[in-house]
Amino acid sequence: MAKNLLKNPYGDHDFSNWELTKNGGDKWEIHKMTENAVASYFCTSFQPCLKKQVIILLQSGYDAAYLDSAPEVTVKDWYRTRDDCGGVYRLTVSLLNENREVIATFKPADVTVPQGTPWTQVTHTFKGYGPGLRFISFEHGGQDNKNWKGWFGVRVTGSSVTIPPKP
């Protein structure tokens, strides 16, 4: 079974392993969840909030020959809004070569998320992108759409990037 290559996907360890690339408004915050099994999630504010992790695949147990065979890379992320405020969700995932040049990118259009939207999963699998994969850049976040002070923007949690183990 493939393991999640992203570290701290729920915010259990504050913002450890995440680079805050945009930290607008009242900045990112982590909230505890009460409605289901997910313990916590990241909250965005009224200005853009984005956070990123770059996965170093050679340090994650994959060898160059296997990565050059272009194994499938599956990306998943969860987002939602509050019941009283909508927001905008953003996601960009890039496969990078040894010079950190882009091999392939998944960047769906920004999603305008109506208030009250329940947890929604986005998923994408990279296939047939060719040799050279060495890093994966995962960046996501968003903001609210009412410009309210506080943490009324989209929530994100449970992000994952997986590559099957070498057969």
- Hey, where are the domains in the chain? 19-162
Q: What is the mean pLDDT of the chain?
A: 93
Of the pLDDT bands very low, low, confident and very high (cuts 50, 70, 90), residue 134 is very high
The string of pLDDT tens digits covering residues 14-51 is 999 999 999 887 788 898 876 665 579 999 999 999 99
Torsion sign across C-alpha atoms 65, 137, 107, 43: positive
- The residue that leads in pLDDT, 3 or 167, is 3
% pLDDT > 70, the chain: 97
Residues 138, 42: Cα–Cα separation, whole Å: 15
- H-helix or E-strand spanning residue 65: helix 64-68
The string of pLDDT tens digits covering residues 48-82 is 999 999 999 999 999 999 999 999 999 999 999 99
Q: What pLDDT sits at residue 37?
A: 57
Q: What mean pLDDT is predicted for residues 128-132?
A: 98
Q: What pLDDT sits at residue 26?
A: 75
Q: Among 13-17, 32-36, 86-90, 126-130, which stretch is predicted with the lowest mean pLDDT?
A: 32-36
Asked if residue 27 lies in contact with residue 46, where contact means CB atoms within 8 angstroms, the answer is no
| Domain covering 19-162: architecture | Sandwich (2.60)
- H-helix or E-strand spanning residue 64: helix 64-68
Task: Return the closest-CA partner of residue 145 out of 85, 90, 89.
Answer: 85
Asked if residue 136 lies in contact with residue 95, where contact means CB atoms within 8 angstroms, the answer is yes
Asked if residue 39 lies in contact with residue 132, where contact means CB atoms within 8 angstroms, the answer is no
Q: Among 3-12, 25-34, 98-107, 150-159, which stretch is predicted with the lowest mean pLDDT?
A: 25-34
